[in-house]
Amino acid sequence: MEDDVDTGFSGGEYDSCSDDGSCSDEQEMEVEQDEPIHVVIEQDKLKLEMDRLAEETKLIIGIPAQLCRVVLHHCRWNKETLTEKYFESESPQHFFKKIGLDYPLDLTYIGKHPPFRKGTCPICFEDSKLTGLSCSHRYCDNCWNSYLSTRFHEFPEPYALCPEPKCKQVVDHDCAFSLLKKDEDKKFYQRVLTNSFVESNKLLKWCPGVNCERVIKLSNTEFQATPVTCVCGYNFCFKCSNEWHEPIDCELLSRWKKKCTDDSETSNWLHANTKDCPKCHVTIEKDGGCNHMTCRSTTCRFEFCWTCLGPWQPHGSGWYSCNRFDDKAAKEARTNQETSRAALQRYLHYYNRFANHQNSLKFENRLMEQIQVKIDQMQAHSFSWIETQFLSKSVEILNKCRRTLMYTYAFAFYLQPNNVTSIFEDNQRDLELATEQLSEVLEREIDASKDDLVVLKQKVQDKCHYVDQRRQVLLKHCAEGLEKNQWVFRDTN
């Protein structure tokens, strides 16, 4: 995770410039760093972004913009990488050969196909008007349309090659649009083109918000693990596309999600609540109070003690004295059982608290509906729109604190205890207490009378300020721990 990224929260308002309006060099530098690290691009503007990059590349390397789009795609739309590789090559033909394409023999027809001519189509063998690329291979309209439509549906890559098996002449996207005859095929190809542009560009990412088709453009690859917010309101991590998950990083979050969803915890439950027969190793669950166990397997029927897994016979009538049985294998089995049980209890401790805040977030979506009703009531009693916005803001802060707390439990699950983790747990406890207090005020005191609304507003604003402050303290401590390598993480699957 990047420590220097602006998370969108400020610790307060400061006016550190002098009376004449001038600022120090350091202050001017801070102003420059406040430039947005990402912008939101509507889907219909992606073609303009592609055209801009192609035109800029054209001015540098001097080949047509249509060809620039092709080679930019092969270089993941990195203009600098393309330029470097291009000028390292002996010639444009040599560069195209290195990336597995044929350089067009005739640049006249780039972006458009040559004039039609009469002939027999080599695919369908029908006499028809034939056309093709700058190579000498010609096909009829129907075969071109069928070939390209099938190609783009089966292999959603934006550039196809000439149908001639040994020809590596590329069909650029202007030619593809002119050779595709059906509107639905052209629309599908446009989606393939834009999706490939986004997926192959390290600075672009589709917004994962529900029914959102916008794209986030990052200003610098150094800020990949940073929170970005789309105009649809969804706040997510640019690197992994999950919702913003500070303080846990993308790798640990992936491990945590896998642990919560795969069958590993089912296995843990079995280890914690069942035992294997010491003789045939079949899994047995104890369903009664007696510790005298008999394996139900018809080929085994081994009698043993549930407590120590030793044979039942030496126990005699004093089966409580399991210390009489001192077999090394039984001790090892008992130790493994206790270790597995402790591991499960530890996991459930963190998972239950993680899930609790996750569920609270869902419930607080309903709280926002109640808040909106209260805002409407306040506006009906001569409160201005500005005066009521503290309620909406308070729910936003509450949600941010819930989400932060949720991910701190996933983060804590992987921490090895040390002196620094105790400070982390204290900060976590303070934030959790303050969050619950704010939640209680919003849920129980929101129906205050008109005369009490001024008091309610001050109370909510004070608690919002405090809870957000505690949140910042917790996140700052986590970030400093990462920067100073103070955290030691468990190798827990």
The catalytic residues are 290
CA distances (Å), origin 224, targets 36, 40, 240, 255: 14, 15, 9, 19
Could you give the dihedral angle defined by the CA atoms of residues 14, 19, 25 and 29, in that order, rounded to the nearest 10 degrees?
40
- Which structure tokens are listed for 149? 């439509």
Cβ atoms of 408 and 371 within 8 Å: the answer is: no
Distance CA 456, CA 446 (A): 8
Cα gap 270→278, rounded to integer Å: 16
E strands present in 306-453: none
Q: How far apart are CA 146 and CA 270, in angstroms?
A: 56
Question: Do 110 and 64 touch, CB atoms closer than 8 A?
Answer: yes
Residues 6+ apart with CB under 8 A from 486: 418, 420, 480
Q: For residue 146, what are its two tokens?
A: 């069928």
Residue identified by tokens 């992606």 is 46
AA identity, residue 106: D
CA separation for the pair 53, 324 (Å, rounded): 80
Nearest-angstrom CA–CA distance, 297 and 463: 63
